[in-house]
């Protein structure tokens, strides 16, 4: 991994819904509104995983999405960060014993940051991004 200060100041985000109820997705969009203005820190929503540095995954992983999630993760160029938004991705949440789940996100791809909540508030998501930046900075020092 080649981490650098510029990486932390320019995180481009790709948003992936692996089976969420859409509650978390709405909160992510809320976190991108002018009220919170994450572009201040260089955070930008991009349309292609090839451009992304951060993968935001919402929801538990349903059978059909498991392979897609793995492929989207593989399509992202290194270095990359995965953030799991919402309780569903952590444990299954309200869907924990559903018959059509492949399990929480952590069982399918490696996750760096979990943001709990159903759905987490935009402040919590931004706090998660700050935690991700702190993590990246500590990794950069170790490098």
Partner 1 sequence: MIGMITAAVVGCIGITVYGLLFGLVLQGVDRKCAARMQARYGPPLHQPFIDIAKLLCKDNIIPKNAVTSVFNAAPVIALAASITILLYLPIGSIAPVLGGWGDIILVLYLLTVPGLAMVAGGLASGSPYATVGSQREMVTMIAYELPLAIAIIAIAWRLNAAGVVDPFSLATIAQTPVWSVVGIPGIIGMLLLMVAMAWVTPAELSRVPCDTPEAETELCGGILVEYSGKNLALFTLSGAVKTVAMATLAVVLFLPWNLTWFVPLTGAAGIIADLVFFVVKVLLVVFFSVSLIRVGMARFRINHLVTFYWGYITLIGFAGLLLLVLDAVLGMGVVA
Return d(Cα 44, Cα 81) in angstroms, integer.
Answer: 14
Binder of residue 24, out of ligand SF4, partner 1, none (CB less than 5 to 8 A by kind)? ligand SF4
Binder of residue 130, out of ligand SF4, partner 1, none (CB less than 5 to 8 A by kind)? none
Binder of residue 116, out of partner 1, ligand SF4, none (CB less than 5 to 8 A by kind)? none
* Among positions 18, 84, 87, 136, the unique one binding ligand SF4 when judged by CB under 6 A: 87
User: Judged by CB under 8 A, which stretch of 32-40, 81-89, 112-120, 135-143 contacts partner 1?
Assistant: 32-40
Q: Which is nearer to partner 1, 48 or 98 (CB)?
A: 48
Q: Determine the 3-state secondary structure of 2 from DSSP.
A: coil
Q: Decide if residue 94 touches ligand SF4 (CB under 6 A).
A: yes
Distances in whole angstroms, Cα of residue 27 to Cα of each of 64, 79, 83, 103: 24, 26, 14, 22
Which residues are CB-contacts of 97 (< 8 A; sequence separation ≥ 6)? none
User: Judged by CB under 6 A, which stretch of 3-11, 82-90, 96-104, 131-139 contacts ligand SF4?
Assistant: 82-90
# of chain residues touching partner 1 (CB under 8 A): 24
Minimum distance, C-beta of residue 43 to partner 1, in the bound complex (Å)? 9
Q: Decide if residue 103 touches ligand SF4 (CB under 6 A).
A: no
| Three-class SS of 10-74 | CCEEEEEECCCCCHHHHHHHHHCCCCCCHHHHCCEECCCHHHCCEEEEECCEEHHHHHHHHHHHH
């Amino acid at each position: 991994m080649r981490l650098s200060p510029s990486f932390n100041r320019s995180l481009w985000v790709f948003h992936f819904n692996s089976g969420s109820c859409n509650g978390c997705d709405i909160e992510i969009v809320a976190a991108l509104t002018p009220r919170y203005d994450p572009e201040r820190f260089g955070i930008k929503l991009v349309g292609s995983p090839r451009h992304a540095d951060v993968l935001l995954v919402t929801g538990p992983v349903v059978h059909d999405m498991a392979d897609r999630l793995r492929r989207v993760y593989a399509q992202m160029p290194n270095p990359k960060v995965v953030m799991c938004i919402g309780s569903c991705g952590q444990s299954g949440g309200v869907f924990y014993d559903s018959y059509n789940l492949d399990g929480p996100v952590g069982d399918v791809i490696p996750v760096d940051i979990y943001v709990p909540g159903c759905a987490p508030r935009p402040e919590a998501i931004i706090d998660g991004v700050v935690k991700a930046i702190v993590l990246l900075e500590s990794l950069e020092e170790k490098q």
